[in-house]
């Protein structure tokens, strides 16, 4: 029995006559055990129960979140592979002027909405992506439609491609909100928190005792079928614990950014904690709005070494141009963390975020999303996150397998 084994192990230790003892009933009678040993057994039993029930009731959601997350690591590449005629080009040469691209996108979009932003190509085969926002019958709810434009010819490659209806956008919504909007985002955030607790209890149960470090990282030969399943469960968790913990924590940030930023702000200022809705344009009598080309030129003059990745297009008179740029060394390789807000009439710089002048808090927050999708460490980082997304499936299957085999053995 387990307690008898612990008695033998304790007998090999130095005498602990000063340690209080308690009576633990066994089949053979009553045996005195150190209170410290009994406390350790109770604590381990508590962690084991917590780990078990979290896996039992939350395991399927852990698996769903991790598998969809693996797909999203390469979601743009997958989308281009599935829809090459709509999202890629074989052209070459200089890009068409931004004003022409915007005019083409506006002419191609259906009525009832407005052009919200333009994503610029990140590689030579990528296309311009113009996103339209269309109101619905629900307040503050919009539909998003995509128009893609060849950057070399200026021709429209696709139009009215609604977000949420094509494969990768469906997976994105499933991963982010379980397809139930704000309530779903909250549930996803709690799933990430429960996953962190599950990982913590699993580490406690796995943590090797003195002299048994090798067994904690290597399989034991000649093990029984139940033991082999348990080893797969233990080792797959041990080797992926750092990455899974990082993904769970960054997932909490993505679900509850306001709370995480507020917490980080206690230790170091975070610019994202400020309300950007206060950044507004100021219309002047007889003054027309700047063109997209002019706004992009002003932003480029501020960050001459930057590459424009995103342009937020003003719609209301008080709206501003919001331009995102990637600069060399930026941890967020896909879009960048440097931003410029411009008055749409005067071109005055209303706000600037330069990743090279970030505070410690800004830098910490800026790392969270690139860590979540792996881009912080380039292609290798993405592949690591992609592979680790399958680990919760292995953990879930092996745990169920161990439970089932032990249940059958108990019945026999």
Average pLDDT, the chain: 87
- Whether 47 and 201 have beta carbons less than 8 Å apart is answered as yes
Give Cα separations from 198 to 51, 241, 246 (angstroms): 5, 11, 13
Secondary structure (3-state) at 295: helix
pTM of the model: 0.84
Query: What is the rounded end-to-end Cα distance, in angstroms, of the chain?
Result: 19
Sign of the CA dihedral 164, 166, 170, 171? negative
- Give the count of alpha carbons within 13 A of 354, CB side only: 10
Bridging pattern class, strands 338-343 and 142-149: unpaired
pLDDT at position 56: 76
Phi/psi zone of residue 347: left (φ > 0), alpha (ψ -120 to 50 degrees), beta? left
Q: From 134, 131, 108, select the one nearest 120 (Cα to Cα).
A: 131
Q: From 195, 197, 233, 196, select the one nearest 216 (Cα to Cα).
A: 233
* pLDDT at residue 375 is higher than 60: yes
User: What whole-number distance in Å separates Cα of residue 120 and Cα of residue 258?
Assistant: 28
pLDDT band at 3 (very low <50, low <70, confident <90, very high): very low
| pLDDT tens readout for residues 380-401 | 999 999 999 999 999 999 988 8
pLDDT band at 1 (very low <50, low <70, confident <90, very high): very low
Residues 6 or more apart from 64 whose CB is under 8 A from it?
Answer: 174
Q: From 65, 56, 46, select the one nearest 402 (Cα to Cα).
A: 56
**Structural class in CATH, domain 274-358:** alpha beta
pLDDT at position 35: 58
Q: Which residues of 73-109 are buried (b: 16+ CB within 10 A; e: fewer)?
A: bbbbeebbeebeebbbbeeeeeebebeebbebbeebb
- Whether 66 and 165 have beta carbons less than 8 Å apart is answered as no
């Amino acid at each position: 029995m387990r307690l008898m084994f612990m008695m033998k192990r304790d007998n090999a230790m130095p005498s602990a006559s000063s340690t209080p003892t308690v009576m633990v009933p066994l089949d053979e009678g009553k045996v005195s055990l150190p209170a410290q040993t009994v406390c350790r057994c109770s604590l381990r039993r508590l962690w084991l129960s917590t780990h078990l029930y979290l896996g039992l009731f939350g395991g399927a959601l852990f698996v769903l979140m991790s598998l969809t997350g693996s797909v999203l690591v390469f979601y743009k590449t997958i989308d281009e592979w599935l829809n090459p005629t709509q999202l890629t080009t074989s052209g070459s040469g200089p890009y068409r002027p931004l004003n022409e691209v915007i005019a083409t996108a506006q002419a191609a979009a259906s009525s009832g909405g407005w052009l919200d932003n333009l994503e610029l190509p990140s590689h030579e085969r990528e296309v311009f992506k113009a996103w339209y926002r269309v109101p619905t019958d629900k307040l503050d709810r919009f539909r998003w439609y995509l128009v893609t434009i060849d950057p070399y010819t200026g021709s429209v490659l696709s139009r009215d491609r609604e977000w949420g209806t094509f494969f990768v956008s469906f997976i994105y919504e499933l991963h982010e909100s379980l397809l139930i909007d704000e309530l779903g985002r909250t549930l996803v955030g709690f799933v990430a928190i429960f996953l962190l607790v599950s990982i913590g209890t699993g580490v406690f149960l796995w943590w090797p005792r003195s002299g048994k470090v090798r067994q904690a990282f290597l399989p034991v030969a000649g093990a029984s079928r139940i033991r082999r399943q348990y080893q797969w469960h233990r080792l797959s968790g041990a080797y992926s614990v750092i990455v899974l913990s990082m993904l769970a924590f960054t997932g909490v940030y993505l679900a509850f950014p306001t709370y995480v930023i507020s917490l980080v702000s206690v230790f170091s200022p975070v610019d994202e904690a400020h309300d950007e809705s206060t950044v507004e344009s100021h219309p002047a009598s007889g003054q027309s709005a700047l063109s997209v080309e002019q706004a992009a030129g002003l932003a480029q003059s501020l960050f001459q070494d930057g590459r424009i990745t995103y342009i937020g297009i003003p719609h209301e008179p008080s709206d501003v141009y919001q331009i995102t740029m990637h600069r060399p060394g930026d941890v967020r390789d896909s879009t960048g963390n440097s931003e410029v807000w411009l008055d749409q009439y005067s071109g005055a710089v209303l706000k600037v975020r330069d990743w090279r002048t970030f505070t410690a808090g800004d830098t910490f927050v800026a790392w969270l999303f690139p860590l979540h999708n792996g881009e912080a460490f380039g292609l290798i980082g993405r592949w690591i996150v992609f592979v680790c997304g399958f680990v919760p499936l292995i953990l879930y299957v092996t745990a169920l397998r161990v439970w089932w085999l032990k249940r059958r053995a108990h019945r026999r």
